[in-house]
């Protein structure tokens, strides 16, 4: 990406942000307001001229409708959505009409969630009917050309909820064009972008917010390097102090499995904004993976002091109990997170992991399926389903779910190795070999694919390929010091035997000596050294016999030559 691609005036950006903060807060779009306010704070060094400040200010209604709107907004803020909708029913301004319909939408969603006591209960038909009625109204206004950018956003959200992704995408693109600084429209659009081709096909406004959207979508599509490149440019172009950008960079490192960089980024984020809870569940996942029990305990205590009833807090505490192998308590906290927000994908997935640890496969499958229902791009849920069906020895099901996970994470060696193992169990050896090779090529830092490949070649009795794979495994293991000791010792034993068979005794001796360093292979190592010594003695004896034979052969040749030389040649007297 060129520098020109990121050209924008920070003063204009700040004016856009301030205007959008006012518009979004007036309509009850608080998540967008928060995101914009954080960006605005990161641009605190950008000073506005009086003319710029005038551009930020928005006129307010002074008629009777303003009083109705003010009352309805107070009800909306207290989540009394039906009362809010009632008192704005006769309002005609764009702002009031949006609040009326948005309140109806949130009321329907609230009733839908509350009406589902468990995952197995059917959806509430009344809530669905309300969404359809709302969609019909919005469609009519859109056809008449009376919907503004916020109305188009709401139409897109309702269409998405009604499982009409094509229409929803069109509405949200139009909403982003009309109100470019409304982050909510961009976020909803991200969830409808299935791949890079779909992203490139969208006709988007050429605005500074587009860079944030592109980076966020790349991150969602697991195109982490592309996302990082944009975030670094944004930092260099004025958003260096943005905690949102820093958090997204940390998530990108997390996705790339660069754990140390991700942890250091989250640590910096906590120092900059110690009471920020957003994304701390991801931070707790990293601490869990590294088994940093003390740091995770401190984080759990810290977040619970800030707000016990945030989904991120519940997930952090759930991870803490999981690391302590108190899986029942962990499930309790993930369930609490889902009561607070049933659409929180991470909690469904983490709860599935806990049920797996508890060997409750039925509950694990239900949890993973719920995660996929909320977000089909959650590769962890697909991967978890694959593992569950693998335990149940249902390998064709298992293969399907692993393929979905690998599609979402094409450069993740774990997905490819899981696929390869499943192909092995289904006796599809060639497909398994292809998966292991690809896993190695995309960067298998733990060398699992190399080891699997070596074992598979050994099973197929392709000794030369197996030897090459084992040699690669031990060479890289010694170089990076990452291999499992048990597996490494077995690799040394295999190589010692392989070189012994081909009578490469120096290499065999080298690997047999390595076997002595491990308890599991010490005795085999001794036996191999003995066999190598015997082989060497045999070779020496053969060499001596050959030498003796050659020596005696030379003597016989000399003797023959000597006898011929003792015969007196006849004297030629012809010259006399």
pLDDT of 152-189, one tens digit each?
999 999 999 999 999 999 999 999 999 999 999 999 99
Q: Which of 27-36, 71-80, 131-140, 516-525 has the lowest mean pLDDT?
A: 516-525
Average pLDDT over residues 46-74: 76
Which pLDDT score, from 0 to 100, does residue 478 have?
Answer: 81
- State the pTM of this model: 0.85
Q: Which of 15-29, 117-131, 161-175 has the lowest mean pLDDT?
A: 117-131
Sorting pLDDT into bands at 50, 70 and 90, what band is 400? very high
Judged against a pLDDT cut of 60, whether residue 228 lies above it is answered with yes
CB 131 within 8 A of CB 108: yes
CB 380 within 8 A of CB 347: no
Beta-carbon-side half-sphere exposure of residue 123 (alpha carbons within 13 Å):
12
Beta-carbon-side half-sphere exposure of residue 48 (alpha carbons within 13 Å):
19
Sorting pLDDT into bands at 50, 70 and 90, what band is 49? confident
User: Which CA distances in Å does 221 have to 197, 301, 347, 348, 456?
Assistant: 11, 33, 20, 20, 33
Percent of the chain beyond pLDDT 90? Answer: 67
Biggest alpha carbon–alpha carbon distance for the chain? 157
Sorting pLDDT into bands at 50, 70 and 90, what band is 128? confident
Judged against a pLDDT cut of 50, whether residue 94 lies above it is answered with yes
Other beta carbons within 10 angstroms of residue 394's beta carbon come to 12
Which pLDDT score, from 0 to 100, does residue 123 have?
Answer: 57
Sorting pLDDT into bands at 50, 70 and 90, what band is 112? confident
Mean pLDDT of the chain: 88
Beta-carbon-side half-sphere exposure of residue 214 (alpha carbons within 13 Å):
24
Given CA atoms 135, 137, 143, 145 in this order, what sign does their dihedral have? negative
Judged against a pLDDT cut of 70, whether residue 241 lies above it is answered with yes
Which pLDDT score, from 0 to 100, does residue 445 have?
Answer: 79
Average pLDDT over residues 408-426: 93
Burial of 191 (0-12, 13-18, 19+ CB in 10 A): middle
Between CA 286 and CA 259 the distance in angstroms is 7
Which pLDDT score, from 0 to 100, does residue 443 have?
Answer: 83
Can you state the angle between helices 280-289 and 259-272, rounded to 10 degrees?
Answer: 140
Answer left, alpha or beta for residue 252, where phi above 0 means left and psi between -120 and 50 means alpha: alpha
Which pLDDT score, from 0 to 100, does residue 154 have?
Answer: 96
Which one is predicted more confidently, 6 or 269? 269
Answer left, alpha or beta for residue 278, where phi above 0 means left and psi between -120 and 50 means alpha: beta
Which pLDDT score, from 0 to 100, does residue 399 have?
Answer: 95
Torsion of CA 32, 35, 36, 37, to 10 degrees: 120
Sorting pLDDT into bands at 50, 70 and 90, what band is 25? very high
Average pLDDT over residues 240-244: 94
Judged against a pLDDT cut of 60, whether residue 46 lies above it is answered with yes
Answer left, alpha or beta for residue 79, where phi above 0 means left and psi between -120 and 50 means alpha: left
What are the phi and psi torsion angles at 59 (to 5°)? Answer: -70, 145
Which one is predicted more confidently, 482 or 520? 520
Q: Own/partner pairs for 137-140, CB < 8 Å, 24+ apart? A: 137/101, 138/101
Between CA 441 and CA 450 the distance in angstroms is 10
Sorting pLDDT into bands at 50, 70 and 90, what band is 1? low
Average pLDDT over residues 414-425: 94
Between CA 370 and CA 144 the distance in angstroms is 39
Which pLDDT score, from 0 to 100, does residue 272 have?
Answer: 93
The residues, ordered by sequence, that sit 6+ positions from 265 with a Cβ below 8 Å of its Cβ are: 246, 247, 249, 250, 253
Beta-carbon-side half-sphere exposure of residue 143 (alpha carbons within 13 Å):
6
Which pLDDT score, from 0 to 100, does residue 328 have?
Answer: 96
DSSP-based three-state secondary structure for 13:
helix
| CA 234 to centroid of chain Cα atoms | 22
Sorting pLDDT into bands at 50, 70 and 90, what band is 6? low
Sorting pLDDT into bands at 50, 70 and 90, what band is 411? confident
Can you state the angle between helices 379-391 and 361-374, rounded to 10 degrees?
Answer: 160
Between CA 333 and CA 308 the distance in angstroms is 11
Judged against a pLDDT cut of 90, whether residue 151 lies above it is answered with yes
Range list of H helices, 4-93: 10-26, 30-42, 50-56, 64-77, 81-87
Other beta carbons within 10 angstroms of residue 370's beta carbon come to 20
Sorting pLDDT into bands at 50, 70 and 90, what band is 537? confident
Which pLDDT score, from 0 to 100, does residue 559 have?
Answer: 62
């Amino acid at each position: 990406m060129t520098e020109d691609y990121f050209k924008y005036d920070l003063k204009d950006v700040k004016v856009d942000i301030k205007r959008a903060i006012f518009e979004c807060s007036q309509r009850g779009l608080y998540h967008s307001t928060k995101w914009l306010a954080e960006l605005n704070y990161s641009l605190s060094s950008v000073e506005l001229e009086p003319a710029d400040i005038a551009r930020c200010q928005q006129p307010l209604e002074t008629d009777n409708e303003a009083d109705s709107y003010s009352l309805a907004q107070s009800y909306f803020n207290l989540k009394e959505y039906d009362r809010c909708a009632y008192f704005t029913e006769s309002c005609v301004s764009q702002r009031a009409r949006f609040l009326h319909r948005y309140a109806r939408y949130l009321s329907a969603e609230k009733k839908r969630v509350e009406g589902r006591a468990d995952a197995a209960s059917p959806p509430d038909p009344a809530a669905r009917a309300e969404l359809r009625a709302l969609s019909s109204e919005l469609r009519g206004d859109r056809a008449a050309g009376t919907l503004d950018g916020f109305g188009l956003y709401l139409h897109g959200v309702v269409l998405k909820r009604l499982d009409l992704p094509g229409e929803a995408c069109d509405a949200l693109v139009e909403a982003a064009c009309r109100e470019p600084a409304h982050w909510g429209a961009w976020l909803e659009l991200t969830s409808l972008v299935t791949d890079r081709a779909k992203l490139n096909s969208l006709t988007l406004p050429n605005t500074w917010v587009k860079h944030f959207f592109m980076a966020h979508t790349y991150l969602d599509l697991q195109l982490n390097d592309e996302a990082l490149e944009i975030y670094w440019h944004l930092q260099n172009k004025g958003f260096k102090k943005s905690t949102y950008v820093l958090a997204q960079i940390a998530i990108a490192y997390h996705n790339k499995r660069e754990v140390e960089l991700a942890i250091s980024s989250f640590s910096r984020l906590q120092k900059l904004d110690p009471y920020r809870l957003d994304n701390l569940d991801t931070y707790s996942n990293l601490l869990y993976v590294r088994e940093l029990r003390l740091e995770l305990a401190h984080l759990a205590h810290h977040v619970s002091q800030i707000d016990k009833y945030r989904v991120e807090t519940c997930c952090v505490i759930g991870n803490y109990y999981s690391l302590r192998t108190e899986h029942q308590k962990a499930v309790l906290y993930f369930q609490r997170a889902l009561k607070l927000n049933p659409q929180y994908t991470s909690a469904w997935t983490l709860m599935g992991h806990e049920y797996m640890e508890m060997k409750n496969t039925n509950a694990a499958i239900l949890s993973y399926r719920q995660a996929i229902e909320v977000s089909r791009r959650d590769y962890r849920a697909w991967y978890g389903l694959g593992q569950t069906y693998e335990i149940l020895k249902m390998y064709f099901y298992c293969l399907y779910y692993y393929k979905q996970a690998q599609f979402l994470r094409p450069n993740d060696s774990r997905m490819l190795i899981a696929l390869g193992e499943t192909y092995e169990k289904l006796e599809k050896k060639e497909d398994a070999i292809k998966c292991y090779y690809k896993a190695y090529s995309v960067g298998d830092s733990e060398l699992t694919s190399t080891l699997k490949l070596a074992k598979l070649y050994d099973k197929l009795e392709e000794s030369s390929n197996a030897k090459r794979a084992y040699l690669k495994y031990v060479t890289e293991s010694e170089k990076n010091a990452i291999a499992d000791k048990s597996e490494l010792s077995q690799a040394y034993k295999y190589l010692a035997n392989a070189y012994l068979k081909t009578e490469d005794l120096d290499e065999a001796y080298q690997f047999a000596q390595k076997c002595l360093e491990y308890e599991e292979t010490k005795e085999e190592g001794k036996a191999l050294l003995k066999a190598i010594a015997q082989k060497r003695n045999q070779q020496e004896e053969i060499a001596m016999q050959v030498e003796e034979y050659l020596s005696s052969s030379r003597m016989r040749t000399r003797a023959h030559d000597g006898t011929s030389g003792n015969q007196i040649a006849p004297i030629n007297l012809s010259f006399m």
